[in-house]
Amino acid sequence: MSQLPLRGWSRLLARRDIGILLLIAVTTAVVGFMDSRFISLDVWLGIFIRSAPTMIVACGVMAVILTGEIDISAGSLMALLAAVMGLLISQSKAALSLWIGIPAVLALGTAIGTGTGLLVSYGRVPSLVATLGLMTALRGLTTIVMGGKNIDGLPPALQDAAKRGWFGVPVSVWVASLVVLMTSLLFYRMPLGRRIYAAGSSPASARAAGLHIQRIQVFTFAWAGFLTAVATLVDVPRLPWIESGIGSDLELLVITCVVVGGVSISGGRGDLSSVLAAVVLMTMIRPVLTFLDVGEMGEKWTRAIQGVFILLAVIADQISIRFLWRKSAKVRR
């Protein structure tokens, strides 16, 4: 592939990033004008706290989509991990130490992600089919594990630490910031990051260059599973109990954020900063509707708006790809 499409795509990504930030700024100004409470520090801290788990999972799912695959099992995986976490550390269950429960959740999330990656890469099962089946299986397994009941009795120390945080900022925001930093280093400072982009941009060329596509795919699914476990650990302590419906609709939200953030569904193109901006934008929708006093219809409107965003993003992605290939064809002539 010539260098012109890459430069052109970079400009498109920059405009996508700026466009999302402008939309956030305009929405904030309009809603803030209607209700000045919306621009308060507490409201925005709440938005960042709510966006933290989504931001963490999006970093992992973005890596999967960059390779040209997809993972729609994140929400179901979070539900199972939360249930396992509750069974291990709840004072009404096994009451094990956090030093046992936390590593166990991280290991299980990574193991399930690795297994999915092996099924997709070496088993040659389409990722959509594999993760759709996994999503259904994990939800069913979570229902069996929890027995249709909530798990309470979480250690007070875990909840206190999650709410207190450091310097007035909750632990979830600190962890999300660390994950973003790690993902940024992976994508833009490490050879593995360049290989992930190459694997999705042109698999044939990547193989010709000696890259092991299957291993890269396994890593991205394992990374997504690990980060889903991390998101579970920061999301669970928000409530005094664990519900079986935790993580519901997370799959759609994360995919929406990644695609709206400019990551091509065909792989090989995408920018982390745009995805993070999209996470904030998507998280803003529900609070905005609340301040606009939409009422009980807020949840339905939230899903509708998310659906419109992902449809527009996919259309924009296809238009951008066609534009770039036309420019590239002119250069080759």
Residue 286's pLDDT band (boundaries 50, 70, 90)? confident
Q: How many residues does the chain have?
A: 333
pLDDT number for residue 48: 92
3-state class (DSSP) for residue 166: strand
Residue in the structure block whose two tokens are 């700024």: 25
3-state class (DSSP) for residue 133: helix
Long-range contacts of the stretch 147-151 (C-beta < 8 A, 24+): 148/244, 149/244, 150/241, 150/242, 150/243, 150/244, 151/83, 151/86, 151/87, 151/90, 151/92, 151/93, 151/241, 151/242
Q: Name the nearest CA neighbour of 61 among 137, 117, 138.
A: 117
Q: How far is CA 143 from each of CA 84, 106, 135, 230, rounded to the nearest angstrom? A: 11, 20, 13, 21
Q: Name the nearest CA neighbour of 241 among 143, 149, 153.
A: 153
pLDDT tens, 36-85?
Answer: 888 888 899 889 999 999 999 999 999 999 999 999 999 999 999 999 99
Q: Name the nearest CA neighbour of 104 among 125, 129, 120, 85.
A: 85
Domains and CATH numbers, the chain: 3-332 (1.10.3470)
Q: How far is CA 206 from each of CA 64, 111, 201, rounded to the nearest angstrom? A: 16, 26, 8
pLDDT number for residue 1: 38
Q: Under a CB-based contact definition with an 8 Å cutoff, are residues 257 and 282 in contact?
A: yes
pLDDT tens, 231-241?
Answer: 999 998 887 78
**Comparison of pLDDT for 110 and 18, the residue scoring more:** 110
Q: Under a CB-based contact definition with an 8 Å cutoff, are residues 61 and 71 in contact?
A: yes
pLDDT tens, 210-222?
Answer: 889 999 999 999 9
